[in-house]
Amino acid sequence: MIDINKNFTQLSEDYLFRNIALKVAKFREENPNKKIIKMGIGDVSLPITKNIVKSFHKAIDDMSKKETFKGYGNEQGYDFLRENIKKYYQNRNVILDIDEIFISDGAKSDLGNILDIFDNNINVTISNPVYPAYVDANIINGNKINFINGDISNNFLPTLDDKCKESLVYICSPNNPTGAVYDKDSLKNIVDFANRNNCIIIFDSAYEIFIEDQNLPHSIFEIDGAKNCAIEICSFSKSAGFTGVRCGYTIIPKEVKLNKISLNKLWFRRQSTKFNGVSYITQVGANEFFSEASQKEIVNIVKYYKRNSKLIFDTLTKLNILCYGGVNSPYVWLKTPNKESSWEYFDLLLEGLGIVGTPGVGFGKNGEGYFRLTGFSSYEDTILAMNKFEEFYKK
Ligand code: PLP
The closest of 100, 74, 325 to 216, measured between CA atoms, is 325
Mean pLDDT of 210-214: 97
Residue 250 and residue 85 in contact, taking contact as beta carbons nearer than 8 Å: no
pLDDT at 40: 87
Together in a domain, 297 and 243: no
Together in a domain, 66 and 26: no
Mean pLDDT of 290-317: 97
Together in a domain, 64 and 140: yes
Ligand 1 pocket check for 375: Cβ under 6 Å: no
Our count of domains for the chain comes to 2
Query: 154: exposed, middle or buried (C-beta count within 10 Å: 0-12, 13-18, 19+)?
Result: middle
Mean pLDDT of 369-385: 97
Residue 320 and residue 203 in contact, taking contact as beta carbons nearer than 8 Å: no
pLDDT at 13: 79
> How far apart, in whole angstroms, are the C-alpha atoms of residue 133 and residue 20?
18
Together in a domain, 365 and 278: no
Mean pLDDT of the chain: 96
* CA of residue 134 to ligand 1 center, whole Å: 10
Together in a domain, 318 and 380: yes
Q: Which domain holds residue 147?
A: 50-290
Phi, psi of 358 (to 5 degrees): -120, 125
Is residue 6 in some structural domain?
A: no
Is residue 363 in some structural domain?
A: yes
Residue 327 and residue 335 in contact, taking contact as beta carbons nearer than 8 Å: no
- 102, 131, 374: residue to mutate for ligand 1 pocket, most atoms within 8 A of CB: 131
Is residue 4 in some structural domain?
A: no
Together in a domain, 161 and 215: yes
Together in a domain, 109 and 231: yes
Residue 98: how many CA atoms within 13 Å on its side-chain side?
Answer: 12
Mean pLDDT of 190-201: 98
**pLDDT band of 129, cuts 50, 70, 90:** very high
**pLDDT band of 12, cuts 50, 70, 90:** confident
- Domain final position from 244, 273, 290: 290
* This prediction's pTM: 0.97
* CA of residue 206 to ligand 1 center, whole Å: 6
List of residues 6+ apart from 389 with CB closer than 8 A: 315, 316, 319, 353, 355
Is residue 331 in some structural domain?
A: yes
Together in a domain, 68 and 166: yes
> How far apart, in whole angstroms, are the C-alpha atoms of residue 326 and residue 174?
10
The closest of 234, 204, 215, 227 to 92, measured between CA atoms, is 215
- Is the predicted pLDDT of residue 292 greater than 80, yes or no? yes
Angle 206-144-329 from CA coordinates, rounded to 5°: 20
Together in a domain, 286 and 297: no
- Domain final position from 290, 308, 337: 290
Where do runs of H (alpha helix) occur along 31-148? 50-64, 79-90, 107-113, 133-140
What is the CATH classification number for the domain harbouring 351? Answer: 3.90.1150.10
- Domain final position from 256, 290, 324: 290
**145, β-bridge pairs:** 124
Helix (H) or strand (E) holding 261: strand 261-262
> How far apart, in whole angstroms, are the C-alpha atoms of residue 66 and residue 5?
45
pLDDT digits (tens, 9 = 90+) for 44-69: 999 999 999 999 999 999 999 999 99
Together in a domain, 62 and 144: yes
* CA of residue 34 to ligand 1 center, whole Å: 31
- 172, 182, 203, 237: residue to mutate for ligand 1 pocket, most atoms within 8 A of CB: 237
* CA of residue 353 to ligand 1 center, whole Å: 29
Together in a domain, 149 and 257: yes
Is residue 139 in some structural domain?
A: yes
Is residue 115 in some structural domain?
A: yes
